[in-house]
Structure 1
Amino acid sequence: MVLSTFAKSRNVKKGAGHRVGFTALTSVLQYCYEMGVKYVTVYAFSIDNFKRQRDEVQSLMDLMKEKIDELLMKESIVNKYGVKINFWGNLSLLSEPVRLAAEKAMASTARNTGPVFSVCVAYTSTNEIVHAIEESFVEKGDRIQERYCNSYSDESIWADNMDGVISVTDLEQHFYTADCPDPDIVIRTSGESRLSNFLLWQTTFSHLQNPVPLWPEFSFRHLIWAVLQYQRVYPYLEHRRSSSKRNFET
């Protein structure tokens, strides 16, 4: 984990490294919102991170609850900019205090019309895809069952079975990210080029950047450079998106 690497490089405790990381996040969020960025998503905690030592996981859960509570304070960045908060992932895996805090944050900011801040927690992209498949099957099954009860003709049953085929659109409607656009830029700090099971489906046409600084060292100038790099490749990415959309529709 990048924050653990930062803690080792600065000879500080892991908890201190994570705390500095949250402080850096607040600064970057403010930079983004003042630049007019509408959507910001962070990968806070992977499902795989639950395999870490129990005391480290508990420490992270406690810190997460503390920071979620801070986001709802009157003077927080959330209230300053009218931010809407999402928590994406298998929230049932979180400790109860963290899960309740996350649910409270989402409910409290649901009607906010400002920037959207999404936190991937207890998340992996593969888990999200499996979740979307399961939800699609449930929805299709309920629809087929309803039609089957209303008609017993062979033709109707055949049509229902065809309607039960899971499409790309069905999956995308059941992703955690369904209400947000795909990201334009993915920033993977510390020079890493791996996505680490993060938004694998949604980042097909995103511009991946891997600046060398560790996350707590990521600054405003690094953010500006990321935007400039994206602007340079924007025509190419937009062309690829448009071509893919046309092929999908045909």
Structure 2
Amino acid sequence: MPSLMYLLQLTKWFSSPLEFFKLNIRKLLIEALKKGPIPNHVAFVMDGNRRFARMHGIETLEGHWLGFGAFLEVIDICFRTGIKVVTVYAFSTENFKRSKSEVDGLMDLLKMKLSEMAEHGGLLERYGVKVVFPGQLDLLRPDVLTIVNRTMEMTGQNLDRTLNICCPYTSRNEIVTAIRDTVIDFSTRMPPVPGRTPLPGCQASALNTRARARVSIYGDPTQKMKIPWWIATTGSIGPAALDHQDIAYSKAPVFAGPEIIDDQTLTDHLWTKGNPPLDILIRTSGVRRLSDFMLWQCCQVTEIVYLDVLWPEFSLWHFLPVLVGWQANAS
């Protein structure tokens, strides 16, 4: 009867060529994908770690560890394919309601894996990845926050790729924060024009009359963005409706008018500001809901895909049909 060592050696002998074959097939498939259009921004709701652990009779934290392995494989595929921005739902603020042992385990896992990812020659350096943490960072443990800030600082100059790790995050809080920041911006007095002297009231009024004749912020909505944002004031164009020739402003505080606030204004105040529009949002585990993730970003042209596979099992073979389908629609 063959010994255990012999069987292990035999398994290793057969598995090496098999792994080599799989790696080459994967490389060929990724190169084939790169021949077509590539999405700029893909997001993942990484759902199913706990269910996977229950189904396989292992500890919940082990399921999260396996889920992190799938996360590394997926972002490697994304960046190798040419996707510029990847956003993952790593931890919801609602997850703090779970048991203390699970939350602490997840925070320890985050600390350890972030340190590994940021190592010299690691994935972040290989692809030139800037790491961003959209979310309420003040809710993190101090030791975790230190690692998070260090990772963002270390990768802040990378410009090739962006990895958004949403933690701790909910979309409602992101939108509320964007509204609050917009209100603060529009409640701040605009700076005076450098090197200019305010004109007398009657002269400034005359210049304003000429300016109002040139453009109306209440007319064609396409015209309002042709005016610099600091020109508009509440209720009228006000004493700053100027061009490079007609300069007039009053000594009174001047504020930007709310009538110029639009969806782009809010987008520019989100935690994901500066990112390209979201092309694909994938949720694993078969659950068909967004769970308070990227609600603002996925409301227009995003292709939302629900996959009946648990996150630790997610791989190129599940991702490939999604990318091919998106390419077919984009062509």
What TM-score results when the alignment is normalised by the length of structure 2?
0.65
The aligned counterpart of 1:244 is none
Contact 1:125 1:198 in 2 (8 A): yes
Cα distance in 2 for partners of 1:167, 1:141 equals 16
Cα distance in 2 for partners of 1:161, 1:77 equals 46
CA shift, 1:113, in A, is 2.4
The structure 1 residue matched to 2:145, chosen from 99, 105, 112, is: 99
The aligned counterpart of 1:163 is 257
The aligned counterpart of 1:49 is 95
Matched, 1:233 2:329: yes
The code of the aligned residue for 2:309 comes to P
Cα distance in 2 for partners of 1:106, 1:191 equals 32
CA shift, 1:169, in A, is 2.2
The aligned counterpart of 1:66 is 112
Q: Within 5 Å, which residues of 2 pair with 1:8-87?
A: 8-87=54-133
Matched, 1:126 2:222: no
Cα distance in 1 for partners of 2:108, 2:186 equals 39
Cα distance in 1 for partners of 2:155, 2:147 equals 12
The structure 1 residue matched to 2:281, chosen from 177, 181, 186, is: 186
CA shift, 1:161, in A, is 6.1
Cα distance in 2 for partners of 1:104, 1:140 equals 32
The aligned counterpart of 1:222 is 318
Name the SS for the 1:88 alignment partner.
coil
Cα distance in 1 for partners of 2:234, 2:322 equals 53
Cα distance in 2 for partners of 1:199, 1:2 equals 19
Cα distance in 1 for partners of 2:183, 2:319 equals 41
The structure 1 residue matched to 2:307, chosen from 204, 211, 231, is: 211
Name the SS for the 1:123 alignment partner.
coil
Matched, 1:195 2:241: no
Name the SS for the 1:84 alignment partner.
strand
Cα distance in 2 for partners of 1:75, 1:39 equals 20
Q: Aligned in 2, Cα 1:163/1:219: closer, same or farther, shift over 3 Å?
A: same
Q: Aligned in 2, Cα 1:71/1:82: closer, same or farther, shift over 3 Å?
A: same
CA shift, 1:216, in A, is 0.7
Contact 2:49 2:60 in 1 (8 A): yes
Contact 2:131 2:164 in 1 (8 A): yes
Contact 1:126 1:197 in 2 (8 A): yes
CA shift, 1:141, in A, is 0.7
Deviations 1:181-240 (A, max 9, x none): 1221111011122111110111121111111110110111111111012123336xxxxx
Name the SS for the 1:85 alignment partner.
strand
Contact 1:141 1:164 in 2 (8 A): no
In structure 1, runs of 5+ residues without a counterpart are: 236-250
Cα distance in 2 for partners of 1:161, 1:76 equals 48
Q: Aligned in 2, Cα 1:44/1:157: closer, same or farther, shift over 3 Å?
A: closer
CA shift, 1:143, in A, is 2.8
The structure carrying a bigger helix percent of its residues is 1
Cα distance in 1 for partners of 2:82, 2:264 equals 29
Cα distance in 2 for partners of 1:180, 1:162 equals 25
The code of the aligned residue for 1:48 comes to E
The code of the aligned residue for 1:66 comes to M
Cα distance in 2 for partners of 1:162, 1:118 equals 31
Number of residue pairs the alignment of both structures matches: 231
Cα distance in 2 for partners of 1:21, 1:193 equals 19
Contact 1:41 1:119 in 2 (8 A): yes
Q: Which has the larger radius of gyration?
A: 2
Identity of aligned residues (%): 35
Name the SS for the 1:190 alignment partner.
coil
Name the SS for the 2:75 alignment partner.
helix
Name the SS for the 2:167 alignment partner.
strand
Superposition CA RMSD, Å: 2.2
Q: Within 5 Å, which residues of 2 pair with 1:137-148?
A: 137-143=183-189
Contact 2:234 2:257 in 1 (8 A): no
Q: Aligned in 2, Cα 1:37/1:162: closer, same or farther, shift over 3 Å?
A: closer
Name the SS for the 1:175 alignment partner.
coil
The structure 1 residue matched to 2:156, chosen from 91, 99, 110, is: 110
